[in-house]
Chain A
Amino acid sequence: MKQVIGIFKLVLIYFLATFLTNWISLPVGLIGMVILYLGLSVGVVSLGEIDFISNLSLKHMSFFFIPLAVGIITSLTLIDGIIIELLIIILITTVLVMGVTSKVVDLVLKGSEK
Chain B
Amino acid sequence: MVYLFVIIITFIAYFISLKLKARFSISLLNPVLVSMFIIIMLLKVLRIDIQYYQSGSHIITDLLGPIIIVLAVPLYRKKELLKKNWMAITIGIITSIIVSFTTVYGFSKIFSFEKLLINSLLPKSVTTPLALESLEIIGGYPPVTILAVILTGITGALLAPLVMRLFKIESELAKGIGIGASSHAIGTSKAIEMSEEAGAASGLALGLSGIVTVIVLTILSLLK
Contact = CB atoms under 8 A, between A and B. Distances in A.
B69 A67 contact: no
A71 to B, nearest CB: 6
B210 interface: yes
Given A65-B189, A103-B167, A33 B75 contact: yes
Interface string A8-30: 00110110011000000111111
Interface residues of B, number: 104
A106 B185 contact: no
Contacts of B30: 62
A82 interface: yes
Contacts of A4: none
Contacts, number: 294
B92 A105 contact: yes
B35 interface: yes
B141 to A, nearest CB: 8
B147 interface: yes
B69 A33 contact: yes
A41 B117 CA distance: 43
A62 B103 contact: no
B148 interface: yes
B151 interface: yes
A69 to B, nearest CB: 4
Contacts of A95: 155, 159, 163, 166
Contact of B70 (A18, A36, A63, A67): A36
Interface in B180-220: 181-183, 185-189, 192, 199, 203, 207, 210-211
A105 B127 contact: no
B82 to A, nearest CB: 11
Contacts of A100: 95-96, 99, 167, 178
28 contacts: A10-B70, A13-B69, A17-B69, A27-B127, A27-B129, A29-B129, A30-B127, A33-B72, A58-B199, A64-B61, A64-B63, A65-B32, A65-B64, A66-B60, A78-B147, A85-B113, A87-B151, A93-B124, A97-B100, A97-B178, A100-B96, A101-B99, A101-B177, A102-B177, A104-B91, A104-B95, A105-B177, A109-B173
Rank and list the top 4 A-B pairs by shortest CB-CB distance, nearest first. A29-B68, A102-B178, A67-B57, A32-B69
